[in-house]
A and B are shown apart, each in its own frame.
Chain A
Amino acid sequence: SYLFIYLFYYITTKATQFFNSGHTNNWAVLVCTSRFWFNYRHVANVLSVYRSVKRLGIPDSHIVLMLADDMACNHRNPKPATVFSHKNMELNVYGDDVEVDYRGYEVTVENFLRVLTGRLPPSTPRSKRLLSDDRSNILIYLTGHGGNGFLKFQDSEEISNVELADAFEQMWQKRRYNELLFIIDTCQGASMYERFYSPNIMALASSQVGEDSLSHQPDLAIGVHLMDRYTFYLLEFLEDIHPASQANMNDLFKVCPKSQCVSTPGHRTDLFLRDPRSVLITDFFGSVRKVEITREAVNLTSAAEQPVEATKEPKSEPLSYVDQLPVAEIIHQKPKQKDWHPPDGFILGLWTLILLVFFKTYGIKHLKHIF
Chain B
Amino acid sequence: MGLLSDPNRRKALTSLLTRLNTPICVVCYLAGIAWFMGLAFEPFTLRTYMSENAMGSTMVEERFPAGERALATAREFAAHKRKVGGMPVEWLVKTMQARGLEVFTQSFTRTLPFPDENKERYMVRGTNIYGILRAPRAPRTEALVLSAPCSPDNSNNQAVGLLLGLAQYFRSQIYWAKDIIFLVNEHDLIGMQAWLEGYHHTNITGMDYTPLQGRAGSIQAALSLELSSDVITSLDLVLEGLNGQLPNLDLANLFHAFCQKIGVLCTIQGKLQRGDWDTAEGYTHAVQTMMLMVLKQASGRPWGDHGLFLRYHIEAASVRGINSFRQYKTDATTIGRLLEGMFRKLNNLLERLHQSYFFYLMPSLTHFVSIGYYMPAFGLLATILLLRALDLWVQLGTPAQVTEDGAGEVEPVSINNQGVLSVLTPVVISHLTGVALYTLPVLSQETAVEHFPVSETEAVVLTAIAIYTAGLALPHNTHRFISGEGTEQGWRVLKLVALLYLAVLLGCTALINFSLGFILAITLVPAAACVTPHMPKALTALAMVLLSPGCTLLYCVFIFQELQEAPVTLPEGWMLFLSVISQGILDHSLYGSLVYPLLALLIYPCWLLLWNILFWK
List the interface of chain A (C-beta within 8 A of B): 36-38, 74-78, 80, 218, 220-225
Interfacial chain A residues near B138, Cβ < 8 Å: 75
A-B contacts, 10 listed (Cβ < 8 Å): A36-B54, A37-B350, A38-B53, A38-B54, A75-B138, A78-B173, A223-B58, A223-B60, A223-B348, A224-B58
Interfacial chain B residues near A74, Cβ < 8 Å: 177
Contact of A77 among B60, B175, B344 (CB under 8 A): B175
The 4 nearest A-B residue pairs measured at CB: A75-B177, A220-B61, A223-B60, A75-B138
Rounded to whole angstroms, the CA-CA distance of A78 and B136 in the bound complex is 11
Rounded to whole angstroms, the CA-CA distance of A37 and B177 in the bound complex is 11
Residue of A nearest to B55 (CB): A38
Rounded to whole angstroms, the CA-CA distance of A220 and B87 in the bound complex is 39
B176 at the interface (CB under 8 A from A): yes
Rounded to whole angstroms, the CA-CA distance of A77 and B60 in the bound complex is 12
Q: Is the CB of A223 within 8 A of B176?
A: no
Given A36-B350, A37-B348, A38-B348: A78 in contact with B58 (beta carbons within 8 A): no
Residue of B nearest to A224 (CB): B58
Known: A75-B176, A80-B174, A220-B59. 14 other contacts (CB 8 A): A36-B54, A36-B350, A38-B58, A76-B347, A76-B348, A77-B175, A78-B174, A218-B59, A220-B60, A220-B61, A223-B60, A223-B175, A223-B348, A224-B58
Interfacial chain B residues near A218, Cβ < 8 Å: 57-59
Q: Is the CB of B59 within 8 A of A223?
A: yes
Rounded to whole angstroms, the CA-CA distance of A218 and B56 in the bound complex is 11
Rounded to whole angstroms, the CA-CA distance of A76 and B174 in the bound complex is 8
Q: Is chain A's interface secondary structure helix, strand, loop, or mixed overall?
A: loop
B137 at the interface (CB under 8 A from A): yes
Rounded to whole angstroms, the CA-CA distance of A38 and B54 in the bound complex is 6
B135 at the interface (CB under 8 A from A): yes
The count of A-to-B residue pairs whose CB atoms sit within 8 angstroms is 45
Rounded to whole angstroms, the CA-CA distance of A38 and B349 in the bound complex is 10
Rounded to whole angstroms, the CA-CA distance of A38 and B344 in the bound complex is 13
Rounded to whole angstroms, the CA-CA distance of A29 and B91 in the bound complex is 60
Interfacial chain A residues near B60, Cβ < 8 Å: 220-223
Binary contact track B128-150/A, C-beta < 8 Å → 1, others 0: 00000001111000000000000
Q: Is the CB of B175 within 8 A of A76?
A: yes
List the interface of chain B (C-beta within 8 A of A): 53-54, 56-61, 135-138, 173-177, 344, 347-348, 350
Interfacial chain A residues near B53, Cβ < 8 Å: 38
Given A218-B59, A223-B60, A223-B344: A37 in contact with B135 (beta carbons within 8 A): no
Rounded to whole angstroms, the CA-CA distance of A288 and B57 in the bound complex is 43
Interfacial chain B residues near A223, Cβ < 8 Å: 58-60, 175, 344, 348
Interfacial chain B residues near A76, Cβ < 8 Å: 175, 177, 347-348
Interfacial chain A residues near B348, Cβ < 8 Å: 37-38, 76, 223
Q: Is the CB of B58 within 8 A of A225?
A: yes
Residue of B nearest to A220 (CB): B61
Residue of A nearest to B178 (CB): A75
Rounded to whole angstroms, the CA-CA distance of A218 and B261 in the bound complex is 15
Q: Is the CB of A75 within 8 A of B58?
A: no
Rounded to whole angstroms, the CA-CA distance of A224 and B127 in the bound complex is 41
Residue picked from A37, A38, A218, most chain B C-beta under 10 Å: A38
Rounded to whole angstroms, the CA-CA distance of A225 and B54 in the bound complex is 12
Given A36-B54, A38-B53, A38-B54: A75 in contact with B59 (beta carbons within 8 A): no
Rounded to whole angstroms, the CA-CA distance of A223 and B54 in the bound complex is 11
Rounded to whole angstroms, the CA-CA distance of A154 and B344 in the bound complex is 24
Shortest Cβ distance from A68 into chain B, in angstroms?
A: 14
Q: Is the CB of A75 within 8 A of B54?
A: no
Rounded to whole angstroms, the CA-CA distance of A78 and B54 in the bound complex is 17
Shortest Cβ distance from B114 into chain A, in angstroms?
A: 49
Q: Is the CB of B54 within 8 A of A37?
A: yes
Rounded to whole angstroms, the CA-CA distance of A174 and B61 in the bound complex is 53
Rounded to whole angstroms, the CA-CA distance of A222 and B60 in the bound complex is 7
Shortest Cβ distance from A7 into chain B, in angstroms?
A: 57
Interfacial chain B residues near A77, Cβ < 8 Å: 175
Interfacial chain B residues near A220, Cβ < 8 Å: 59-61
Q: Is the CB of B175 within 8 A of A78?
A: yes
Shortest Cβ distance from B351 into chain A, in angstroms?
A: 10
Shortest Cβ distance from A222 into chain B, in angstroms?
A: 8
Q: Is the CB of A75 within 8 A of B137?
A: yes
Interfacial chain A residues near B350, Cβ < 8 Å: 36-37
Interfacial chain A residues near B137, Cβ < 8 Å: 75, 80
Residue of A nearest to B63 (CB): A221
Interfacial chain A residues near B177, Cβ < 8 Å: 74-76
Rounded to whole angstroms, the CA-CA distance of A74 and B350 in the bound complex is 12
Contact of A75 among B56, B175, B344 (CB under 8 A): B175
Shortest Cβ distance from B539 into chain A, in angstroms?
A: 65
Rounded to whole angstroms, the CA-CA distance of A36 and B61 in the bound complex is 21
Residue of A nearest to B52 (CB): A38
Rounded to whole angstroms, the CA-CA distance of A183 and B136 in the bound complex is 38
Rounded to whole angstroms, the CA-CA distance of A80 and B136 in the bound complex is 12
Interfacial chain A residues near B61, Cβ < 8 Å: 220-221
Interfacial chain B residues near A222, Cβ < 8 Å: 60
Rounded to whole angstroms, the CA-CA distance of A225 and B56 in the bound complex is 10
Rounded to whole angstroms, the CA-CA distance of A78 and B137 in the bound complex is 11
Shortest Cβ distance from A212 into chain B, in angstroms?
A: 13
Shortest Cβ distance from B69 into chain A, in angstroms?
A: 23
Shortest Cβ distance from B249 into chain A, in angstroms?
A: 19
Residue of B nearest to A222 (CB): B60
Shortest Cβ distance from A185 into chain B, in angstroms?
A: 19
Interfacial chain A residues near B174, Cβ < 8 Å: 78, 80
Shortest Cβ distance from A225 into chain B, in angstroms?
A: 6
Q: Is the CB of B56 within 8 A of A38?
A: yes
Residue of B nearest to A226 (CB): B58
Q: Is the CB of B135 within 8 A of A75?
A: yes
Interfacial chain B residues near A78, Cβ < 8 Å: 173-175
Interfacial chain B residues near A75, Cβ < 8 Å: 135-138, 175-177
Shortest Cβ distance from B346 into chain A, in angstroms?
A: 11
Rounded to whole angstroms, the CA-CA distance of A104 and B138 in the bound complex is 17
Interfacial chain A residues near B136, Cβ < 8 Å: 75
Rounded to whole angstroms, the CA-CA distance of A223 and B176 in the bound complex is 13
Interfacial chain B residues near A224, Cβ < 8 Å: 58
Rounded to whole angstroms, the CA-CA distance of A78 and B175 in the bound complex is 5
Residue of B nearest to A221 (CB): B61
Shortest Cβ distance from B12 into chain A, in angstroms?
A: 53
Shortest Cβ distance from A186 into chain B, in angstroms?
A: 16
Rounded to whole angstroms, the CA-CA distance of A225 and B60 in the bound complex is 11
Rounded to whole angstroms, the CA-CA distance of A75 and B136 in the bound complex is 8
Interfacial chain A residues near B173, Cβ < 8 Å: 78
Interfacial chain B residues near A36, Cβ < 8 Å: 54, 350
Interfacial chain B residues near A37, Cβ < 8 Å: 54, 348, 350
Shortest Cβ distance from B383 into chain A, in angstroms?
A: 42
Residue of B nearest to A225 (CB): B58
Residue of A nearest to B138 (CB): A75
